[in-house]
Amino acid sequence: MSESRAALRYAKATLNFAIEKKVMDSIDEDMRNIVQTISDSDELKEMLQSPILEGSSKNQVLKEIFKNVNDLTKELFSLLVSKKRIGLLNEVAKKYIRLNDNLKGENVALVTTAVPLTPSLEKKILAQVEKITSNKVTLENIIDASIIGGFILRIGDLQYNASISNKLNNLKREFTNSI
């Protein structure tokens, strides 16, 4: 099973328990805190990925760093440690946030561009995406210079690829097929 699929399964299970216990917003806040903390700390990233440290040590560190989180979040730490999947914590937290936002009718649109979006262009894209989806949408800009120019827009399972690299690949394919 790929790492992403495993993370999605843990996130779905966590969301289902959160719904059952009526603590979705509390867990959402915990997950946002986890994502922010891990992205701010290279040491924490390394610790979570380290094959040398024992799972129990990682669990203790996480419970110390995140001592004010919901008990369900602490149970998630223990579960990931016991299944030797604690390295997926950041990915699980991100997927939980997306699943919870989707449940609330809020979508996340990923826009991949070669350069950062200007605020005015971001507003235009956001308005168009909200018109298309009829939902509240937040925009997340991913910078990837390999697309050369244009953009790739992804909303849930839908993707629109208007990148220069995609157009060049299509031309290359057409030339190769016509020879």
* Confidence at residue 1, expressed as pLDDT on a 0 to 100 scale: 46
Residue 61 in tokens: 């560190």
Question: Which of 13-17, 18-22, 136-140 has the least mean pLDDT?
Answer: 136-140
- Tell me if 150 sits within 8 A of 168, measured CB to CB: no
What would the pLDDT profile of 71-127 be if each residue is shown by its tens digit? 999 999 999 999 999 999 999 999 999 899 888 888 888 899 999 999 999 999 988
pLDDT tens digits, 142-151? 999 999 999 9
Residue 17 pLDDT more than 70?
yes
Cβ neighbours of residue 49 closer than 8 Å, sequence gap 6 or more: 87
**Residue closest to 63 by CA, chosen among 102, 89, 24:** 89
Furthest-apart CA atoms within the chain: distance in Å: 64
- What pLDDT is attached to residue 2? 63
- Domains of the chain: residue spans and CATH: 3-101 (1.10.520.20), 106-178 (no CATH)
**Helices 55-65 and 71-82, axial angle in degrees (round to 10):** 160
